[in-house]
């Protein structure tokens, strides 16, 4: 396991050459690497098991730990060669990878691929009966001895080792990539906005991932992105990789100790069985304020129903795929330095964590807040990135972004096909819009960043996506 000092230094390298004015603004300049011909573009795919062992904490230790494995959890991805240094894209069936844990995953995959950390992006699908990995928070709670693990470090290291081995194997089995195709389809009766506003403009109720409240079912879906997007890579007419993007919390029910990839992961697995020669990936878009609670009552019977609806969206999005020759590839990054919200005081939070009279959730959860406060104090940035292929932009964003950021990204490049993967570096927890902060609600209460994150993140998105319009 890499030490925090080592990983912090790796991240801080991205600050070199940046002006003081840029740092003060919270936005660091982008870097990009161009590629104009597809003759030497190759891809290798990988997958490895990341299922937690029996008794391991789920969702940070404040729900029932692992008792049963209903279906295994996977990390899936691809290595793209021939566009400068190797590019690694990975998505994991975990609740989240935060702060130093996220850096360690990226660095480990980068080392195996022989590339730099800024050319690796790792995302989580965000199922809740799954690990919620923050090694910084784990170090905080370990000092107390009476709290459940955030993530067991031996298991975490085994996953890093498995990822390195999978990358090395993938790079031995690459195939040529010549074409790219895009498609999209509307998903029926899954997503709805979670935040229900009252007459005073404040959040009056949260619809959540499931709800038994008939009023929640009657209310309209609200602001969502109803489209499931697919981007596929081909060798000639042979489909090699299909990445699917949809913005919605992916839980039908959870908290029962039964590990599962849940309805989004199960839909991906079913599609994989239908097309075993193509590697299918599923990315959660900007679903921080989106859930299935309008249509999902949390019953066990609804999981297969929601699974089928996502699968139908995947299949429909692929029906119109029309492979086009790849003419250009570019990887571009932009570092942001969002500030912590001043309402969070580390000393005060640590008093709560130290108070053994408090509940587990009241002590474990704040350790994530402290981890973020210490990270921002150390000036470790968040890296945004995009993979531009022809007129397609795959945008990689952190944490639980509100859907507005995804819609802004698409609006910033109306002539491009923009697919958003959020739930990258989960350090900030929720990332609401500036407008949402005074509205209150759960998401704002567990958003560790200052409202200035809105302008900073939006500027980063514009830098990466909007600049492609020329």
Segment 63-101, tens digit of pLDDT = 999 999 999 999 999 999 999 999 999 999 999 999 999
Question: How much is the pLDDT for 21?
Answer: 35
- How would you class 438 by CB atoms within 10 Å of its CB: exposed for 0-12, middle for 13-18, buried for 19 or more? exposed
The reply to whether 107 falls in a domain is yes
- Which stretches of the chain drop beneath a pLDDT of 50? 1-25, 35-37, 470
> Does residue 99 lie within any of the structural domains?
yes
301: its two tokens: 């019977």
- On whether residue 347 sits in a domain, the answer given is yes
233 lies in a domain?
Answer: yes
Looking at the structure of the chain, the number of domains it has is 1
pLDDT tens digits along 97-133: 999 999 999 999 999 999 999 999 999 999 999 999 9
Give the pLDDT score at 145: 86
Per-residue CA distances from 424 to 97, 245, 409, 439 (Å):
7, 14, 16, 25
User: In terms of DSSP bridges, do strands 175-176 and 132-133 run parallel, antiparallel, or are they unpaired?
Assistant: unpaired
Query: What pLDDT, on the 0 to 100 scale, is given for residue 32?
Result: 56
| Residue 268 within a domain | yes
Residue ranges making up the domain that contains 197: 4-465
User: Chain centroid to CA 145: how far?
Assistant: 30
User: Could you tell me if residue 470 is inside a domain?
Assistant: no
Instruction: Answer whether residue 332 is part of any domain.
Output: yes
Q: What's the Cα-to-Cα distance from 301 to each of 198, 213, 252, rounded to whole Å? A: 31, 17, 9
Q: How far apart are CA 117 and CA 382, in angstroms?
A: 12
State residue 284's pLDDT score: 98
């Amino acid at each position: 396991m890499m030490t925090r000092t080592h990983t912090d230094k790796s991240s801080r390298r991205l600050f070199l050459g940046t002006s003081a004015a840029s740092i003060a603004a919270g936005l660091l300049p982008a870097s990009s690497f161009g590629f104009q011909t597809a003759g030497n573009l190759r891809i290798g795919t990988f997958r490895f098991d990341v299922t937690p062992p029996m008794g391991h904490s789920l969702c940070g230790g404040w729900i029932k730990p692992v008792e049963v494995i209903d279906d295994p959890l996977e990390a899936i991805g691809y290595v793209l060669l021939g566009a400068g240094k190797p590019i690694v894209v990975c998505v994991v069936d975990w609740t989240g990878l935060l702060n130093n844990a996220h850096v360690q995953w990226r660095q480990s995959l980068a080392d195996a691929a022989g590339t730099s950390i800024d050319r690796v992006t790792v995302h989580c699908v965000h199922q809740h009966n799954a690990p919620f990995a923050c090694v910084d928070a784990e170090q905080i709670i370990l000092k107390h001895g009476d709290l459940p693990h955030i993530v067991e470090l031996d298991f975490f290291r085994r996953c890093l080792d498995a990822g390195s081995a999978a990358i090395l194997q993938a790079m031995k089995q690459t195939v040529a990539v010549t074409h790219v195709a895009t498609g999209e389809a509307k998903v029926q009766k899954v997503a709805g906005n979670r935040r229900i506003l009252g007459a005073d403009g404040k959040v009056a109720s949260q619809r959540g991932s499931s709800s038994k409240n008939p009023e929640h079912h009657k209310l309209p879906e609200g602001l969502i992105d109803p489209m499931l997007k697919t981007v596929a890579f081909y060798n000639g007419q042979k489909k090699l990789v299909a990445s699917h993007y949809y913005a919605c919390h992916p839980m039908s029910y959870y908290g029962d100790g039964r590990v599962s990839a849940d309805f989004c992961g199960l839909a991906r697995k079913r599609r994989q069985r239908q097309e075993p020669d193509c590697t299918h990936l599923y990315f959660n878009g900007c679903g921080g304020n989106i859930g299935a609670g309008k249509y999902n009552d949390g019953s066990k019977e609804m999981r297969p129903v929601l699974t089928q609806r996502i699968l139908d969206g995947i299949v429909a999005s692929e029906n119109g795929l029309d492979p086009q020759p790849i003419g250009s590839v570019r990887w571009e990054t932009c570092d942001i330095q969002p500030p912590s919200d001043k309402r969070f005081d580390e000393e005060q939070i640590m008093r709560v964590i130290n108070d053994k009279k408090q509940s587990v959730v009241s002590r474990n959860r704040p350790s994530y807040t402290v981890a973020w406060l210490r990270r921002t104090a150390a000036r470790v940035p968040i890296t945004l990135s995009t993979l531009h292929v022809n007129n397609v932009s795959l945008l990689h964003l952190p944490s639980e972004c509100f859907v507005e950021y995804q819609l802004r990204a698409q609006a910033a490049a109306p002539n491009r096909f923009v697919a958003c993967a959020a739930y990258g570096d989960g350090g900030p927890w929720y990332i609401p819009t500036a407008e949402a902060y005074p509205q209150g609600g759960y998401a704002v209460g567990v958003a560790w960043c200052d409202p200035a994150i809105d302008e900073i993140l939006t500027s980063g998105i514009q830098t990466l996506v909007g600049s492609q319009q020329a």
